[in-house]
Amino acid sequence: MRVNYMILPFLLLFFSHASIADWAKKRASIMGTEVAVEVWHEDSAKAASAVDSVMQEMQRVDHLMSTHKETSALAKINRLASAGPVKVGAELFGLIDKSLKCSEKTHGAFDITYASVGYLYDYRHASRPQQSEVESALQAVDYRLISLDADKQTVTFKREGMRIDLGGIAKGYAVDQSIKILARQGIRHARVTAGGDTRVLGSRLGRPWTVGVRHPRASKKMVAVIPLMDEAISTSGDYERYFDESGIRYHHIINPETGDSAREVRSVSIIGPKAVMTDALSTSVFVLGVESGLELINSMDDYEAIIVDKSGSLHYSTGLEQFQSANEPEGSHNNLIPSLLASVN
Ligand code: ADP
Ligand code: MG
């Protein structure tokens, strides 16, 4: 439809009063990914400063937990913890502890020590380790080799050559922190995204927020559009950081048992109340594959999953199964999940 430019200013004036003018939005590149924040408040100055405080929080978490920044607390652990206990702040200690609990729950599918072998891959330059290098690095992959002392707040690695990386959980954590900060500032409508991790606060002014799950092999297509209120969603895919070699895809989600990329599925989306959990669980289920992955998610009350397997078929956790009938035939992947997720949880 063509817009009549004569009436446009009047229309804008009409609609802007309650909704348009008061949404503050920003995008930035932080934590090696795109961060996007949208906030609504009657007072547009308040909305704008709330957005800025989220960006600051993302930067703060990145400085603490980045493996790429030499000065981060995490980099210090990786440099020193094989030689003896390294004292860390309560926040980082807490997230490492949470990561170990996820390892136990997923029987080691989620394992931050994957980094002991993971660092040998360079997706940007399409380079990967030889099988012999993978095998020797695997000796340092085992979450049980991390020793935490809660009284002294120290981390120790029990073996040489160990490294940890919080890339599978830190963005979700940062998103949760952001939502906490927004709620504390009196914000009731917001969406915060860091790469594949999103959490929404309230509604999008009376309507649910919608978050798309993209088709893993066609960046412009969606396999589902999920309506959400007060919930988080994380997607892990084999299309984010990867290279193909002789028809095999090497990507950034590593099976800690083999030291190679996990290849049972192409993408996993997890929906639930906390982004720190949806983030860790999307990585975990990616490693576990369809059967064990759904078994895990079906055993958890508040969490649901949508999986695209290696042949492109969709699989849902039990709380979403009623939507399966709404799906189009296999291959078309253009489903709209037509109802509020809150109503099926
Ligand atoms: P992203 O949003 O970066 O695509 P994902 O949630 O999909 O993140 O998780 C992938 C990231 O998780 C990897 O980049 C890596 O840092 C980390 N990771 C890879 N394999 C594992 C694993 N088995 N356990 C824990 N973390 C992992
Ligand atoms: Mg994840």
189 domain residue, yes or no: no
Strand-pair partners of 209 = 228
Q: Which atom, in ligand 1's list, is nearest to the CA of 256?
A: 23
Pocket of ligand 1 (CB under 6 A): 110-112, 114, 165, 167-168, 171, 195-196, 236, 240, 252-254, 256, 279, 282-283, 287
Q: Over 50: is that where the pLDDT of 11 sits?
A: no
Taking residues 159-179, report their average pLDDT: 98
Does 222 share its domain with 322?
A: yes
Please answer whether residues 267 and 213 qualify as being in contact, where contact means their C-beta atoms are separated by less than 8 angstroms. yes
> Is residue 49 assigned to a domain?
no
Which residue is closest in CA terms to ligand 1's atom 16?
Answer: 167
- The dihedral through the CA atoms of 331, 336, 340, 343 has a sign that is negative
The helix/strand/coil state of 34 is strand
Q: Could you tell me if residue 312 is inside a domain?
A: yes
**Domain annotation covers residue 40:** no
pLDDT at 340: 37
Nearest bound ligand to CA 193?
Answer: 1
Residue 132 identity (one-letter amino acid): S
Specify the ligand 1 atom closest to the Cα of 167.
16
Instruction: Kindly report the CATH number assigned to the domain that includes residue 275.
Output: 3.10.520.10
Mean local confidence (pLDDT), 243-256: 98
Q: For residue 328, what pLDDT band results from cuts at 50, 70 and 90?
A: very low
Atom 3, ligand 1: which residue's CA is nearest?
167
Answer yes or no: is pLDDT of 157 > 90: yes
Closest by CA to 320, choosing from 299, 335, 341, 336, is: 341
pLDDT at 147: 98
Domain boundary among 97, 125, 157: 157
3-state secondary structure 157-201: ECCCCCCCCCCCCHHHHHHHHHHHHHHHCCCCEEEEEECCEEEEE
**Cα of 192 from ligand 2 centre, angstroms:** 16
- If you take atom 26 of ligand 1, which residue's CA is the nearest one? 168
Q: Which ligand is nearest to the CA of 166?
A: 1
Q: Lowest-confidence range among 211-220, 249-258, 327-336?
A: 327-336
Residue 315 has pLDDT above 90, yes or no: yes
What percent of the chain has pLDDT above 90?
Answer: 85
Atom of ligand 1 nearest to the CA of 110: 24
Which secondary-structure segment (H or E) carries 270?
strand 265-272
Output the pLDDT for position 19: 53
- Inside any domain, residue 114: yes
Average of per-residue pLDDT values in the chain: 90
Instruction: Give me ligand 1 centre to Cα 184, in Å.
Output: 30
Domain endpoint, select from 157, 191, 224: 157
The Cα 7–Cα 145 span in angstroms is 68
- Based on the domain organization, do 213 and 323 belong to the same domain? yes
Structure tokens belonging to residue 311: 């042949």
What pLDDT score was predicted for residue 288?
A: 98
Instruction: Check whether residue 256 and residue 314 sit in a common domain.
Output: yes
pLDDT of res. 155: 98
Lowest-confidence region among 78-92, 95-109, 211-225, 243-257: 211-225
Q: How far is the CA of 339 from the centre of ligand 1 (A)?
A: 30
Shared domain for 143 and 237, answered yes or no, is no
What is the pLDDT at residue 337?
45
The minimum-distance atom of ligand 1 relative to the CA of 111 is 24
Structural domain contains residue 25: no
Whole-model pTM? 0.90
Take atom 7 of ligand 1 and give the residue whose Cα is closest. Answer: 236
> Residue 326: which pLDDT band, with cuts at 50, 70 and 90?
low
Q: Are residues 220 and 302 in the same domain?
A: yes
pLDDT tens sequence across 16-69: 445 555 799 999 999 999 999 999 999 999 999 999 999 999 999 999 999 889
CA 116 to ligand 1 centroid distance, Å:
13
pLDDT band of 8, cuts 50, 70, 90 = very low
Question: Which 3 state secondary structure label does DSSP give 21?
Answer: helix
Ligand having the closest approach to the CA of 197: 1
Residue 22: predicted pLDDT: 79
Residue 195 CA: nearest ligand 1 atom is 2
Pocket test for ligand 1, best of 252, 255, 296 (most atoms within 8 A of CB): 252
Q: Which two tokens stand for residue 295?
A: 């078994």
CATH code assigned at 90: 1.10.3980.10
pLDDT of residue 309: 97
Distance 277 CA to ligand 2 centre (A): 8
Listed residues 157, 181, 197: the one ending a domain:
157
The residue behind tokens 């291959």 is: 331
Q: Quick: pLDDT tens for 59-113.
A: 999 999 998 899 999 999 999 999 999 999 999 999 999 999 999 999 999 999 9
> What pLDDT is attached to residue 2?
36
Q: Which residue range is the domain that position 87 belongs to?
A: 68-157
Average pLDDT score over residue span 172-176? 98
Helices (H) and strands (E) in the chain, counts: 8, 17
212 and 326 housed in the same domain: yes
| Structural domain includes residue 164 | no
The CA 343 to ligand 2 mean position distance, Å, reads 25
Domain identity same for 344 and 270? yes
196 Cα nearest atom in ligand 1: 2
In a domain, 296, yes or no: yes
Work out how many domains the chain is built from and give that number. Answer: 2
